[in-house]
């Protein structure tokens, strides 16, 4: 009898889960709430640490799972013992469910003191990816930026917005974009304001070195406490250089907020199912973080990708492979 497997979310982790299940002879169905598969990868321009165009990775993933059934424009509302409930009011039965519903981006407007959506030239790293994809990075009125500041840890490691975790991939994203903008505007000065630089990943530390030595990016240890707008629509920032213990004021043309990953919005509803547990961060908790990272407390519910924690693409995709293997093992044993 054909086994039914549902994958919730058609991002990189869900797509790889589908590809690996197909390799194992299982034809899954992906249910994706947006109108296209690809998840956040659709929004990225070039990927750290190799500067590979994101669309190349996306095309590879799409190619490997093209025989899977995909339903777009439909969200999974809840997970039950024998299947899922969908946003159109219907239910779908399944022998196994893989939750690959990913993460949300922190809403930078919640840090009101930084002026996102209030001042013209305050952006997020996601806005910059969109501008890079559109082929034009510029100030709101089209001027070329001469001085650019990036601020790390926006919406991560921050008790005030109830996000205590480190989002893991945003230091390297900020360093990557600093290098891209410096290459685009060689005359500009680029500053990164950080609490700690966390560059754990293959090639990440090397990128950080290149950013300093070859690109002359300035790294300032300190947090920007406040932003305000000048009469000519530039952004004045107040910070403290904690290495020399001095307050600092600076006017920049663009302030770019390096936004972190928050738990996916569906997690709370999914956790209404007994055995699907949440961590204090709101990400779902694997059955065991060492040996059963892609398993839940329910035998036929599995996890892949950033639904359990912030991860880079390679890690998220690898979990798709692991989750598919766990699903196949479970189905064979039934």
Ligand X SMILES: Cc1cc2nc3c(=O)[nH]c(=O)nc-3n(C[C@H](O)[C@H](O)[C@H](O)COP(=O)(O)OP(=O)(O)OC[C@H]3O[C@@H](n4cnc5c(N)ncnc54)[C@H](O)[C@@H]3O)c2cc1C
Any contact of residue 296 with ligand X (CB under 6 A)? no
Contacts with ligand X, 5-34, as mask; x by CB under 6 A: ---xxxxxxx----------------xxxx
CB atoms within 10 A of CB 19: 23
Residue 217 Cβ vs ligand SF4, minimum distance, rounded to whole Å: 15
Q: Which of 11, 38, 260, 320 binds ligand SF4 (CB under 6 A)?
A: 260
**Judged by CB, which is closer to ligand X: 222, or 320?**
320
Can you tell me the distance from the alpha carbon of 242 to that of 263, in angstroms, rounded to the nearest whole number? 30
Answer for the pair 54, 36: CB distance below 8 angstroms, yes or no: no
Question: What does DSSP assign to residue 235?
Answer: E
Q: Among ligand X, ligand SF4, none, what binds residue 168 when CB lies within 5 to 8 Å by partner kind?
A: ligand SF4
Q: Which stretch binds ligand SF4 (CB under 6 A): 22-30, 168-176, 221-229, 299-307?
A: 168-176
| CA 251 to chain centroid | 29
Q: In this structure, what token pair is assigned to residue 200?
A: 């754990």
Any contact of residue 176 with ligand SF4 (CB under 6 A)? no
Q: Which residue is nearest to ligand X (CB)?
A: 11
CB atoms within 10 A of CB 53: 14
Contacts with ligand X, 192-231, as mask; x by CB under 6 A: ----------------------------------------
Can you tell me the distance from the alpha carbon of 310 to that of 312, in angstroms, rounded to the nearest whole number? 7
Any contact of residue 20 with ligand SF4 (CB under 6 A)? no
Answer for the pair 195, 153: CB distance below 8 angstroms, yes or no: yes
CB atoms within 10 A of CB 67: 10
Contacts with ligand SF4, 216-255, as mask; x by CB under 6 A: ----------------------------------------
**Judged by CB, which is closer to ligand SF4: 87, or 242?**
242
Q: Residue 129: which residues within 8 A CB-CB, separation 6 or more?
A: 43, 44, 45, 177
């Amino acid at each position: 009898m054909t086994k039914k497997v549902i994958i919730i979310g058609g991002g990189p982790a869900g797509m790889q889960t589908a590809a690996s299940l197909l390799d194992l002879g299982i034809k899954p169905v992906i249910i994706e709430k947006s109108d296209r598969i690809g998840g956040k990868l659709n929004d990225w321009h070039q990927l750290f640490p190799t500067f590979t165009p994101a669309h190349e990775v996306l095309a590879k993933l799409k190619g490997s799972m093209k025989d899977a059934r995909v339903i777009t424009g439909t969200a999974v509302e809840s997970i039950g013992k024998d299947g899922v409930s969908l946003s159109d009011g219907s239910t779908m039965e399944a022998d196994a469910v893989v939750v690959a519903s990913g993460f949300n981006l922190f809403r930078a407007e919640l840090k009101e003191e930084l002026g996102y959506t209030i001042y013209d030239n305050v952006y997020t790293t996601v806005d910059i990816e969109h501008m890079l994809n559109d082929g034009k990075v510029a100030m709101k009125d089209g001027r070329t930026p001469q001085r650019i500041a990036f601020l790390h840890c926006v919406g991560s490691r921050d008790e005030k917005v109830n996000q205590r975790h480190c989002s893991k991939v945003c230091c390297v994203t900020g360093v990557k974009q600093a290098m891209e903008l410096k290459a685009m505007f060689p005359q500009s000065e680029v500053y990164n304001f950080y609490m700690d630089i966390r560059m754990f990943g293959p090639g990440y530390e090397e990128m950080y070195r290149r950013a300093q030595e070859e690109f002359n990016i300035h790294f300032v240890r300190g947090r920007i406490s406040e932003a305000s707008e000048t009469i000519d629509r530039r952004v004045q920032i107040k910070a403290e250089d904690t290495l020399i213990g001095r307050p600092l004021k600076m006017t920049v043309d663009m302030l770019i907020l390096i936004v972190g990953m928050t738990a996916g919005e569906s997690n709370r509803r999914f956790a209404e199912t007994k055995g699907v547990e949440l961590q204090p961060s709101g990400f779902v908790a694997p059955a065991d973080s060492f040996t059963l990272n892609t398993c839940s407390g329910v035998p036929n519910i599995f996890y892949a990708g950033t639904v359990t924690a912030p991860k880079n693409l390679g890690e998220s995709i690898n979990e798709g492979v692991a989750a598919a293997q766990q699903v196949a093992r479970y189905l064979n044993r039934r």
